[in-house]
Amino acid sequence: MQESRLFKIIYYLLGRGQATAAELAERFEVSVRTIYRDMDALSQAGIPIYAEPGRNGGISLLDHFVLDRVVLSEQERQDVLAALQSLTAAGNTLDGDTLNKLAAVFRLPAENWYEVDFSRWGVSTGDNEKFEALKRAVIRRKCVRISYVGSYGGESSRKIHPLKLMYKSRAWYVKAYCAEKKDFRLFRLSRIKAWELLEEEFVPEPWPESPEQMNASEPEPVVLRFSRDAAYRVYDEFDVGHIREQENGDLLVSAPMPQDGWLTGFLLSFGAQVEVVSPVYLREVLAGEARAILEKNRPGMFPNRES
């Protein structure tokens, strides 16, 4: 127990820089006397830890102190390399030399034993450049001007304060504050057609913890029935906890989903393999879109061509 606490104290000080004995005692639920005993144990183990008296004093580690590789187990070192390899695959966030150097420090082979590629099919240069630009904006707290295609197909120009990049459901998003909407928004990277990194800086605000803080309610559940032939896609798109298998093999799905133009297009991609159970109005929307598609693609009808 003490050994675990000693490492946690080191990690805490590496992250915070300095802490008082009382702060550490409260953090690790021990007495101040125990914290001072831990300091002695760390010092005897060769860790350069010291206490500075005074009003602004506290417990610190010497500048430039780094943990030796032996602090991490072999499995933990492999996990670190695997995580960095995944980030590299996400869009050139690290180069090969960085991974090779870290592998040498860890005394582990640097071969990639698996491959992760988050880019779309085809040439991915633009996606990678976009990812790198937004990453720099998040780190440097720079505003970005983007041209964005919304769920209903309209294109708009937005100035955003990018707070964090997020990967969810096989797609990259940027969590940001939108200056035009004066609210927090999620922007899907694949829908950002153009971007410009601005010199203007912003002060980041915390991302809202609940839908109420975003002035938006949780999306209403949509209940869908899929034929068994669509099972491979259903399990791709939905969490297994939202799927109920029926006696005839159909799959009943109930999940909160944003009811906008994206949802209509998503459901149409299943063709006749999906039935909307609720809400009722969504059935009418889907049927209307299907009729419009039929009118545009009626057999025997050909588009007008210029002579």
pLDDT at site 221: 87
CB-CB neighbours of 304 under 10 Å: 5
185 token code pair: 């928004």
Strand 142-149 with 192-201, pairing? antiparallel
Q: Decide: 59 and 39 in contact? Cβ < 8 Å.
A: yes
Residue 307: the pLDDT is: 43
Cis bond before residue 221 (omega within 30° of 0): no
Cβ neighbourhood burial of 131 (10 Å; 0-12, 13-18, 19+) = buried
Rounded CA-CA distance 190/110 in Å is 31
For the chain, which ranges sit under pLDDT 70?
1-3, 64-126, 151-153, 169-170, 209-219, 300-307
pLDDT (0 to 100) of residue 212: 43
Please state, in angstroms and rounded to a whole number, the distance separating the CA atoms of residues 104 and 112.
Answer: 14
**How many whole angstroms from its chain centre is CA 116?**
15
Q: Supply the pLDDT for residue 213.
A: 43
pLDDT at 147: 93
Q: Which of 156, 204, 168 is nearest to 184 (CA)?
A: 204
pLDDT digits (tens, 9 = 90+) for 159-180: 999 999 888 766 788 999 999 9
Q: Which residues pair with 221 in a beta bridge?
A: 256
- For residue 141, what pLDDT is reported? 92
